[in-house]
């Protein structure tokens, strides 16, 4: 099976602080990697490097066959990134935000409308989609953010605390879109190992000042 993610000795520092220390990961297509570790261990840093939002300080990184950071431009549009911030404009409605994202990702207008309705329905957001994001609860924003993350049908999902702010129903609905499944390769950062470890093909444990351990 081809590797979707290949990391060899990847590290990143901010000034003199090493945020990510020599990570080796090999993740095949349709596998899930669950990343665990205490606050400040570099989980989000790792995800942002994989998403091309941050340059590594050293080591080798290949994602979907593209070498980072030199071929990052080839990778954009193939990644679904769900971070701490919902990446939604507060003064636009949920539907307007999704239309904006669809246009940035080059999804045709008609196809985008169909896809947006499908996603909103899947996450139980169709009735709240015309409200301004600023007026929605954190859980509702997270649902919209999940719609944004998968809108363009990415080849790789990078999920940072995907369950945060979601209620039980929201978690179950979200699982249908970003949970493990055919065609989905995922990296999931979590503080909830009980929920996510059963669906992990590999686990990466990051520690502060310690070398990462893959199991």
Partner 1 sequence: MTPSRTAFSAILAKDLRSELRTLQSLPAMALFSVTTFVIFRFGLDRTSLSGSLAAGVLWATLLFAAVLGINRLFVAEREEGGFDAIRLAPIDRSVLFAAKVAALLIYLAALELVAVPIFAVFFLDGGGGLGPLVAVLLLTDLGLAATGTLISSMAVNSRARDLLVPLVLLPLVVPLMIAATGATEPLLALGGPSYHRFGTWLMVLGLYDLIFSLVGYAVFDFLLED
Residue with tokens 């924003």: 141
Residue 66 in the binding site for partner 1 (CB under 8 A): no
Applying CB under 8 A, which of residues 18, 28, 29, 53 lies at the interface with partner 1? 53
Applying CB under 8 A, which of residues 38, 60, 65, 103 lies at the interface with partner 1? 103
Comparing CB distances to partner 1, the nearer of 32 and 45 is 45
Residues binding partner 1: number (CB under 8 A) = 29
Q: Where are the beta strands (DSSP E) in the chain?
A: 3-14, 17-28, 32-36, 58-63, 66-67, 79-82, 156-160, 185-189, 202-207, 210-214
Answer yes or no: are the C-beta atoms of 34 and 53 closer than 8 Å.
Answer: no
Applying CB under 8 A, which of residues 2, 16, 39, 106 lies at the interface with partner 1? 106
Q: How far apart are CA 165 and CA 214, in angstroms?
A: 28
Give the ranges where the chain is alpha helix by DSSP (H). Answer: 43-50, 72-75, 94-104, 109-122, 138-150, 168-178, 193-196
Applying CB under 8 A, which of residues 8, 58, 60, 90 lies at the interface with partner 1? 90
Residues 151-190 binding partner 1 (CB under 8 A) are none
Comparing CB distances to partner 1, the nearer of 90 and 121 is 90
Q: How far is the CB of 165 from partner 1 (least distance, A)?
A: 15
Phi, psi of 187, rounded to the nearest 5 degrees = -120, 120
Footprint on this chain of partner 1 (rule: CB under 8 A): 48, 51-55, 73, 76-77, 79, 81, 83, 85-92, 96, 100-101, 103-106, 132, 148
């Amino acid at each position: 099976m081809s590797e979707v993610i290949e990391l060899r000795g990847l590290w990143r520092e901010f000034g003199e602080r090493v945020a990510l220390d020599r990570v080796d990961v090999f993740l095949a297509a349709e596998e899930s990697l669950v990343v665990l570790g205490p606050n400040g261990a570099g989980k989000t840093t790792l995800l942002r490097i994989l998403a091309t939002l941050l340059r590594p300080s050293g080591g080798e990184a290949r994602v979907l066959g593209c070498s980072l950071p030199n071929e990052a431009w080839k990778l954009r549009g193939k990644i679904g990134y769900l971070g701490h911030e919902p990446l939604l404009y507060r003064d636009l409605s949920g539907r307007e935000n999704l239309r904006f994202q669809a246009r940035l990702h080059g999804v045709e207008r008609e196809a985008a409308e169909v896809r947006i309705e499908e996603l909103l329905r899947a996450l139980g957001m169709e009735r709240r989609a015309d409200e301004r994001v600023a007026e929605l609860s954190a859980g509702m924003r997270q649902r919209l953010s999940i719609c944004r993350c998968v809108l363009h049908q990415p080849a790789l999902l990078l999920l940072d605390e995907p369950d945060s702010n979601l209620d039980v129903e929201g978690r179950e609905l979200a699982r249908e879109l970003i949970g493990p499944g055919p065609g989905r390769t995922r990296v999931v950062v979590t503080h909830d190992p009980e929920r996510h470890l059963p669906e992990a093909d590999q686990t990466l444990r990051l520690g502060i000042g310690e070398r990462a351990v893959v199991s």
